[in-house]
Amino acid sequence: MTARENAGAASVTDAVTAFSEEGTADSSDAAVGFDRDRSMERTAAVTRPASSETAATDDRDIAISVTGLSKRFGEGDAAVTAVDDVSVDIETGSIVGLLGPNGAGKTTLIKSILGMVVPDAGTVRIRGIDLEERPRAAYSAVDAMLEGARNDYWRLTVRENLRYFATISGVDPNSVRDRHDRLLAQLDLEAKADVPVRDLSRGMKQKVSLASVLAGGAEVVFLDEPTLGLDVESSRTLQRELRRLAAEEDLTVVLSSHDMDVVETVCDRVLIMSDGAIVADDTVDALLSDTDRHCVRITSADIDAALVSRLRRRFDAIEADRRDPGHRIEVVTDSDGLYDLLAMLRDADVTLERVRTVEPDLEDVFVDLTAGDQGDRGDR
Ligand SMILES: Nc1ncnc2c1ncn2[C@@H]1O[C@H](COP(=O)(O)OP(=O)(O)OP(=O)(O)O)[C@@H](O)[C@H]1O
């Protein structure tokens, strides 16, 4: 493990190091100072093209700034470009969703930001501090929960875990008792505060994991699948708490999840990765309104099998089910396709009995944007 890897991994606490693929760190190194800068103001997040100048951004507002980050694994024919020249700024107090199909590069990007993977190129600044130059300072208010869990100490009670993780974040646990009380209350863990974590249900352990990440007063947190395994009510509680922390305490959250509903509900912005690059960066509303995707459901007695097979030659995404009489078809297409569809139906003298449009959701947008992703791929 290089000095840089060690410094980074150690300073985001031992929970993170449990997931490091490139080495382990001594958890005693995890005690890092906690240094708040309340001058930061909340604004929106921005993505920059790789070529833009870092100097143009105001570091006080930017919690995480990544410039030209690239990472390849392996050599020669077996090489994989996991992250390909990614630049992104994430503003203080925002909740940013990181989405992408398996192998898109999300984990490698997050681990590079956390200092657990050494990138081949690029720079990372956290709260304006360059990770390579001053790793301890850069990570002083960063914490993470990776792969839906965290190394809570199962023999310790819930409250003891919060005190422990506050301590290794460099915070006197007595000074953040109110924060712990509030976290326990907000996450419905008050009644379990003095129960050892091993005696809790899986969902409760998950909530303790999140509370532990927040116990030391981290200002920037990375949460990988934070709602994995939670029941609907617990998931909503957790989402509400994240929103409150972002809005009231300027907590910056990078959240990676395959649960599109969670991302749609909780995230200010969504970054979609595909083949190592960020292919979309916008608010959920903008992503939904920008998409040139239409899904129409048409029912008519005049739609017969011959017409359905003609339509199938023009449209890939078509589903048909037989009605009596006629068919109901559902076609997913772009604007041009929509005109073609209506023209084909008119030419076939189809009387439209029922036409319904189905609004796209984030999952539809995601599928469209990542349709060509190679997944666990060889190099391009
Ligand atoms: N340590 C490694 N050695 C070799 N290849 C790796 C390593 N880590 C990741 N990769 C490859 O890099 C690419 C990106 O992987 P990464 O884990 O970052 O994707 P991901 O978007 O997080 O995927 P998932 O959603 O499945 O977790 C994949 O092709 C993966 O096989």
Final residue of a structural domain among 264, 288, 312? 288
Average pLDDT, the chain: 81
The rounded distance, in Å, linking the Cα atoms of 89 and 124 is 10
The b-or-e profile of 232-265 (16+ CB within 10 A means b, else e) is eebbebbbebbbebbeeebbbbbbbbebbebbbb
Please report whether residue 185 resides in a domain. Answer: no
User: Counting beta carbons within 10 angstroms of the beta carbon of residue 363, is it exposed (0 to 12), middle (13 to 18) or buried (19 or more)?
Assistant: middle
The confidence band for 373, taking pLDDT boundaries of 50, 70 and 90, is: low
Q: Is residue 168 part of a domain?
A: no
Residue 162, in any domain of the structure: no
CA nearest to 244, candidates 286, 212, 214: 214
The answer on 322 and 274 residing in a single domain is no
For 249-254, what is the mean pLDDT?
A: 94
Whether 14 shows a pLDDT value over 70: the answer reads: no
For residue 371, the model assigns a pLDDT of 79
Judge if 276 and 324 occupy the same domain.
Answer: no
pLDDT at 31 over 50: no
Return the SS3 of 156: coil
> What CATH number does residue 41 fall under?
3.40.50.300
pLDDT at residue number 99: 93
Asked if residue 272 and residue 260 are part of one domain, the reply reads yes
Strand order in the sheet with 80-91: 80-91, 62-73, 121-126, 129-130
What is the reported pLDDT for 372?
66
Separation of alpha carbons 148 and 155, rounded Å: 20
Asked if pLDDT for residue 368 goes beyond 90, the answer is: no
The mean pLDDT value for 160-186 works out to 90
CATH number at 298 reads 3.30.70.1150
231 and 82, same structural domain? yes
Rounded to the nearest whole angstrom, what is the distance from the C-alpha of residue 127 to the centroid of ligand 1? 27
Residues 279 and 298 in one domain: no
Is the CB of 361 inside a 6 Å radius of any atom of ligand 1? no
The answer to whether position 22 is within a domain reads: yes
Cα–Cα distance, 51 to 65 (Å, whole number): 14
pLDDT of the residue at 25:
31
Give the residue, by CA position, lying nearest to ligand 1 atom 3.
Answer: 73
Domain count, the chain: 2
Domain range spanning residue 313? 292-359
Share of the chain above pLDDT 90, in %: 49
User: Are 277 and 230 members of one domain?
Assistant: yes
Q: Which two tokens stand for residue 41?
A: 């103001």
pLDDT, tens digit (0-9, with 9 covering 90-100), for 321-356? 887 777 899 999 999 999 999 999 999 999 999 999
The ipTM value here is 0.98
Residue 173 included in any domain: no
Helix (H, G, I), strand (E, B), or coil: what is residue 373? coil
- Nearest-atom index, ligand 1, CA of 22: 1
Residue to substitute in 22, 73, 273, 376 for testing ligand 1 pocket (most ligand atoms within 8 angstroms of CB):
73
Tell me: cis bond preceding 119? Omega within 30 of 0 counts: no
Average pLDDT over residues 158-163: 95
Q: Are 271 and 316 in the same domain? A: no
Residue 26 has pLDDT above 80, yes or no: no
The residue nearest atom 11 of ligand 1, judged by CA position, is 82
280 and 310 co-located in one domain? no
Q: How far, CA to CA in Å, does 329 sit from each of 298, 301, 311, 351?
A: 5, 11, 10, 13
Q: Check whether residue 230 and residue 302 sit in a common domain.
A: no
Decide if pLDDT at 5 tops 90: no
Going across the sheet that includes 95-99, the strands are 142-145, 220-224, 252-256, 95-99, 269-274, 277-282
In this structure, the answer to whether residues 41 and 7 fall within a common structural domain is: yes
Q: Give the pLDDT confidence of 40-92 residue by residue, as tens digits.
A: 222 333 444 443 333 334 555 899 999 999 999 998 888 999 999 999 999 99
Say if 25 falls within a structural domain: yes
Percent of the chain with pLDDT over 70: 81
> Do 305 and 275 fall into the same domain?
no
Residues 324 and 259 in one domain: no
Query: Collapsing DSSP states into helix, strand and coil, what is residue 148?
Result: coil
- pLDDT (tens digit, 9 = 90+) per residue, 178-187? 989 999 998 8
Task: Please tell me the distance between residue 72's alpha carbon and the centre of ligand 1 in angstroms.
Answer: 10
Residue 204: pLDDT band by 50, 70, 90 thresholds? confident
pLDDT given at position 374: 57
CA distance 115 to 96: 19
CB count within 10 Å of CB 326 equals 18
Q: How confident is the model at residue 375 (pLDDT cuts 50, 70, 90)?
A: low
Shortest-distance Cα residue to atom 6 of ligand 1? 73
